Structure 1
Amino acid sequence: MKVLLACGGGMSSSILAENLVAEAKKNGDEDFYMEATGTESVGLKMQQENWDALLLAPQVSFRKAYLQQEADAKGIPLIPIEGVLYTPMGIPDLYRLIKETVGK
């Protein structure tokens, strides 16, 4: 599964992405791939590669309408991340949410 994470700058989101990949591996999901990118690069990333889901970091939730259009154009779900899941303690629940939403 390939997941693109839309964020503001990438620092905290890169840490979140690393933790989600580690959680996937812990659950035997070796094919889980995640990449964090700024909201301004989402359109280009969506053109360059096929993604299974687009995550939206809480700090850029104001870009949801724009990013929903990008996700809809590719036929993939947009998953807004609640603040409580955007923490190390929320990683297992966020991973389950992604798996349930994408269905893979």
Structure 2
Amino acid sequence: MTQGQENCLVVWPEDVFMQEAQRAQQTPLTSRDARDYARVLFAGAEQTTPDKQGRIGIPPLLRDYAGIVKDVVVIGVMDRIEIWDPAKWAEYSAGAQAKFADLDESADR
């Protein structure tokens, strides 16, 4: 689990996280954006294991980053799970929904 864009949290299976780590390692250290991405990705990363009921705890640093106080919204996005504060998800989702039709029309198929 680590910090994601738009102040959500990202949960990857370990093998997928390692692929993302390798991709980040292949970017040039001379690129400020690449350094920033790697720092944020790895600085907030914590390995988590579900308990017997399938729940995962969210470390305090990541809860603070995502603004999570109590409830969460969990969404599946291709090869990862994103965890959102409900108010932040509602705000993000409203903006993304407004663009959705245009994005679909412009997607390469």
Fold shared by both chains (TM-score > 0.5): no
Structure with more strand by fraction: 1
Q: If the TM-score is normalised by the length of the shorter chain, which range does it land in?
A: 0.3 to 0.5
Larger-Rg structure: 2
Per the normalisation by structure 2, the TM-score is 0.33
Per the normalisation by structure 1, the TM-score is 0.35
